[in-house]
């Protein structure tokens, strides 16, 4: 039995070729989840059902970056320019990988400033094509 390592220094994320490294202090600074279900089941009243599969359910990725960082400024520039994006994710310690293409930065997140603490800079991305493996 081996010990899986999900450490920050073994997580490699790139957006349009630039490696993102200045993660914020949010407990999970990178998340991805399906936008739509992979399959749906339509159940009829007579007892039969129909299965409908989606070829590409899409993926939503949220990243949380350290405010004031060059990584945050880079992603904000992509957002402001409405650039199409490609993202890669590699978790070296577990051999997990993902490639998102035909993507956009759909939104930025809430900004909390001028108090006793500040919030991370959040960006939400949507990808039409997503290929991934899990450890």
pLDDT per residue as tens digits for the range 47-97:
999 999 998 899 999 999 999 999 999 999 999 999 999 999 999 888 899
Domain segments of the chain: what residues?
8-133
Show Cβ contacts of residue 122 under 8 Å, excluding neighbours closer than 6 positions. 62, 63, 64, 65, 108, 109, 110
pLDDT of residue 33: 97
pLDDT of residue 119: 92
Q: Which residues are 112's β-sheet partners? A: none
Write the CA distances from 66 to 40, 81, 86, 114, integer angstroms: 38, 21, 21, 15
Three-state SS for 29? Answer: coil
pLDDT of residue 88: 98
pLDDT per residue as tens digits for the range 24-41:
998 899 999 999 999 999
CATH classification of 8-133, choosing from 2.70.70, 1.10.1740, 1.20.950, 2.30.110?
2.30.110
pLDDT of residue 7: 74
């Amino acid at each position: 039995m081996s010990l899986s390592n999900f450490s920050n220094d073994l997580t490699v994320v790139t957006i349009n070729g630039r490696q993102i490294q200045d993660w914020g202090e949010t407990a999970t600074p990178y998340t991805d989840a399906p936008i739509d279900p992979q399959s749906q089941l339509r159940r009829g009243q007579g007892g039969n059902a129909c299965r409908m599969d989606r070829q590409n359910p899409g993926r939503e990725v949220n990243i949380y970056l350290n405010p004031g960082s060059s990584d945050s400024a880079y992603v904000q520039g992509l957002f402001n320019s409405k650039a199409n994006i490609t993202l890669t994710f590699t978790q070296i310690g577990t051999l997990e990988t993902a490639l998102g293409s035909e993507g956009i930065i759909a939104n930025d997140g809430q900004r909390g400033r001028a108090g006793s603490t500040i919030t991370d800079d959040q960006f939400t991305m949507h990808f039409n094509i997503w290929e991934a493996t899990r450890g």
